[in-house]
């Protein structure tokens, strides 16, 4: 009952005094509207004024700007791309070898961490004999499925 009376009194007060901020917000919106308006501009040295004239000038500018012209676009016909041989293409889909993975790990700085777990490449190098099978199993599973195991972040594979 008390909250209902308070609500009714607040409505009465609002009706008597009106919203004190409405003049402020109206002023802000009016200034924003004035700032966003384009009252006039020059077209080929001629001043264009008025809403209809400005609209037609803008429309004619963009319609002429985006109309189809006989423009010569660059072509790719003269560009010669190097293509892979069948042997090189087959090398892209072959499984990772132990030597390739080891070379990639050894190319990384010892203090780099591939993930948030703070295991550096120095740690991986020191314990390579123990971790080698797990790393290769992970990479072979990725090669076979084309997906990372759940819980593995993709940054790890990029850094390896």
Instruction: Summarize pLDDT for 79-114 with one digit per residue, the tens.
Output: 888 888 898 888 888 888 899 999 988 998 888 776
Say yes or no: 59 and 117 in one domain.
no
- Mean pLDDT lowest for which of 16-30, 122-136, 143-157? 143-157
| β-pair type (40-43, 46-49) | antiparallel
Phi, psi (deg, nearest 5) at residue 91: -65, -20
Six-digit token pair at 78? 């003269």
Domain count, the chain: 3
In the chain, the percentage of residues whose pLDDT exceeds 90 is 5
Q: Do 99 and 126 belong to one domain?
A: yes
30 and 46, same domain (yes or no): no
Pair 25, 53 in one domain: no
**pTM for the whole structure:** 0.40
Do 154 and 117 share a structural domain? Answer: yes
Measured CA to CA in angstroms, residue 97 lies from 43, 48, 135 at distances of 68, 72, 11
Residue 58 has pLDDT above 80, yes or no: yes
Q: Residue 132 domain-assigned?
A: yes
Same domain, 52 and 23: no
């Amino acid at each position: 009952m008390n909250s209902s009376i308070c609500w009714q009194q607040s409505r009465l007060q609002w009706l008597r005094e009106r919203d004190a901020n409405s003049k402020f917000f109206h002023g802000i919106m009016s200034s924003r509207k004035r700032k966003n308006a384009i009252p006039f501009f020059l077209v080929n040295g001629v001043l264009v004024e008025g809403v209809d004239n400005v609209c037609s000038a803008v429309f004619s500018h963009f319609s002429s700007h985006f109309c189809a012209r006989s423009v010569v676009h660059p072509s790719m016909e003269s560009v010669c791309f190097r293509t892979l041989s069948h042997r090189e293409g087959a090398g892209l889909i072959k499984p990772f070898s132990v030597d390739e993975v080891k070379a990639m790990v050894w190319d990384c700085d010892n203090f780099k961490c591939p993930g948030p777990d703070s295991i550096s490449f120095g740690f991986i190098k020191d314990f390579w004999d123990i971790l080698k099978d797990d790393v290769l199993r992970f990479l072979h599973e990725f090669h076979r499925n084309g997906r990372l195991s759940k819980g593995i972040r993709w940054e790890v594979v990029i850094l390896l």
